[in-house]
Structure formats: C-alpha cells, structure tokens
Amino acid sequence: MQNRLAKKISCAVSASVNRSKVDIKNGFQGKAPVSMRIRTQISSAVILAFLLLQLPGNLEASCNPLFEGADPDILFANKKYWIYPTGTGQGQEAYVYSSADLKTWRKGGVAFALKNAKWISSDRAKKHYLWAPGIFQSSGKFYYYYSVGPQNPTPSRIGVAVAKKPDGPFIDSGKALITGDARFEAIDAMVFQDPKDKNHYLYCGGSAGAQLKVFELNDDLISIKQEVPVQTPKDFTEGPFMHFHNGIYYLSYSSGRWNDDSYHVSYSTAATPIGPWKYQGIILGSDNKHAGPGHHSIIKVPSLNNWYIVYHRWNAAKTHGKLPKERSIAIEKLEYLPDAKIRSTMMTD
C-alpha cells in the first residue's frame, strides 16, 4: 500500500513540476515569482495526491507508459475506457484494451482480424497490413474504421467494421469505404459528429502526400455521402483528430516524420468543423527521454471537467544511437489557456 501511495504522489508531483517547466518555457505571465509558483504547485500536488486516492478514475495519480502499441483511439462506453491501438505484431489482428480507471489496462481478445475483410485481396498485393484504427459509437453500435496498406504499389484503403459491444467482435461491412490514389494516402480515419448540425464527418489522410481529406458520412456510418473540400492545415503529416470545446473546433494532427524524433502533435482551430484553419502551435514534442509523440486521440472524462490526450511515443528516447523498436501508449492531461489555446504539454512517466 505504501509503495502504491508513494508512486501516486510521485506521479502527481512530476506532472505538476513538468507543467511548471512549460510555464517557464512559454514565459510566466502571473505576478508571483516563478520559483514561488513552482513551490506552490509542488505542495499542492502532494496534497492533491492524497485526495486523489479517494477518486478512482482521476488520472492525476496515474503513471506512463500504459502498454506497448501505437496510433491509439480512445472511447468511454459501458462504464469503461477503451483504447484501440495499432498492435505490435504482424499487422493482421487488432486488440482492444479496457480500463475502469485509466490506470490499470486489460488486453482483450482479437476484436478484428484482417482475414475477415475479404475485399482487401482485390488489389492483388501479396501482403496487407492493418493499422491506425478509429472508433465511433452511435445508437448502441460501435464503428471500427481501419487502414489497410500497403500504399505502394497499390493504393491504401480505409474499411469499416461494426459491433454491438465495444470490444467486438467487429463484423466487416464488406467493401472499402475510401480508396486512395497516387497523391492521396487513405489512412488514419476518425469520425466526429458536429454538435451543431449533427452531421458526421470522417477525417483522414496524410504521410506520403500529407493531404487531409474530409468526408460527410451517410446515416448508416458505413457509406460516404459526399467529400467536403478542405484545406490541409500547416505542418500536417497524418493522424487528424477533431474535438469541440467552448464553441471552438480543434483539429489536432501529427507533424514531422512518423519514424523519427521529429514526430510531434500540432493543432489548428476553426469556427466550423471544416475550416478554414488557423495554426496554433505544438501540443506535444520530443524531449531528452521520450521521442516522437504523435498519432493521438482526445477524450473528455465524463465524471470530471478534464480533457486528456492519448498518444504513442518511444521511451528511452535513443538507445545506442537509435530509437527503440516498439512504441508505447501514454496519456496526459490536456489544459486550455484563457485565450482558448492548448497549453504545450510535457510528457510524464
């Protein structure tokens, strides 16, 4: 019990100190000295850590990394959190991880297998890979949007499978939802319902062509109503994610190269879900210990007025001059500044 308590206090203090470092980096705008602010935050963090022991599900007492994987999307359903990542195996099967408190995660069985999507062999490629899933819940069903590669020599594609439970099994729709071309890589789908007009928009694309595309879905959520013309935002590479907060649409996405430490999370904002975009800056970037944070998702915790970002990264940033083989899933608290911008976030352990 004492060890668990010490770990939770350590994590809370670490998170508070890291946020203070961001304040110093970005320029302190308050009236109190920076040193006083740091001491105050550390003291508050210790007190808070004790109080958090009485609040299951509050992430302030949680530590990273959560588990190995990449490209996570997160959902809250059936009183649990669910993370849908790209796996660490051969790219043929997808698993779902669940947690009641965002701290302890359980790996479930196979939720979706590429062999059950019979249509993917129509391009006659010798090998196909499953990655970068996006999840969406509607009317008691769960929609699993997934990327199918390779991009070359054949175009990448996006498929969709449906389940009655958040952990599957997901049954494939039987056809490609979106097919790429020489200039557009059909990957990294995420679905967002506009709280204003209730339309469903699918955001996708990136990497090779670094092009964002947006499609409006039909009510069945497994077919396209129309493509919506949009501009690709500044520094866009892949992994688009849309969320809405206090009347503003936040489009966040991965920038840099996906396979090195230039990878990071940027964001732009707009007054509509389809732009025009105003670039705002970086949410997550590499540090001396962690590299390549990116391909994220964002969630608001239902029981708290807190937002969190779930992402992947390389831990032990560089070992023997190169990045580790496997990436890990991590989670951080997302904070909004008074001017509606998102505070630059320091990665924690």
Q: Cβ distance 72 to 329 under 8 Å?
A: yes
pTM given for the model: 0.85
Among the options 60, 71, 73, 167, which is catalytic? 71
Determine the average pLDDT of the residues in 4-8: 44
pLDDT value for 14: 46
71 is an active site residue: yes
pLDDT value for 204: 98
Among the options 167, 172, 238, 261, which is catalytic? 238
Between CA 333 and CA 300 the distance in angstroms is 10
* Closest by Cα among 122, 140, 298, 166 to 221: 140
Cis ω before 273 (30° cut-off from 0): no
Determine the average pLDDT of the residues in 172-181: 96
* Closest by Cα among 83, 80, 84 to 57: 80
pLDDT value for 38: 41
pLDDT above 70 coverage of the chain, percent: 82
Which CATH number is correct for 62-334, 2.115.10.20, 3.30.70.2660, 3.40.50.1980, 1.20.210.10?
Answer: 2.115.10.20
Q: What is the pLDDT of residues 315-348, one digit of tens each?
A: 988 877 789 989 999 999 999 999 999 999 999 9
106 pLDDT more than 80: yes
Determine the average pLDDT of the residues in 251-271: 96
User: Please, which pLDDT band fits residue 46 given cuts at 50, 70 and 90?
Assistant: very low
User: Please, which pLDDT band fits residue 58 given cuts at 50, 70 and 90?
Assistant: low
Determine the average pLDDT of the residues in 256-283: 97
User: Please, which pLDDT band fits residue 62 given cuts at 50, 70 and 90?
Assistant: low
* Closest by Cα among 242, 220, 82 to 141: 220
60 pLDDT more than 70: no
More confident residue, 44 or 126: 126
23 is an active site residue: no
Determine the average pLDDT of the residues in 252-266: 96
Between CA 204 and CA 221 the distance in angstroms is 15
pLDDT value for 136: 98
Q: What is the DSSP letter of 60?
A: G
Q: What is the DSSP string of 84-130?
A: EEE-SSSSSEEEEEEESSSSS-EEEEEEEEGGG-GGGGGG--S--EE
Structural domain spans, the chain: 1-54, 62-334
Query: Average pLDDT, whole number, for the chain?
Result: 86
Determine the average pLDDT of the residues in 4-24: 44
Between CA 108 and CA 94 the distance in angstroms is 10
278-284 β-sheet, strand order: 238-245, 248-255, 264-270, 278-284
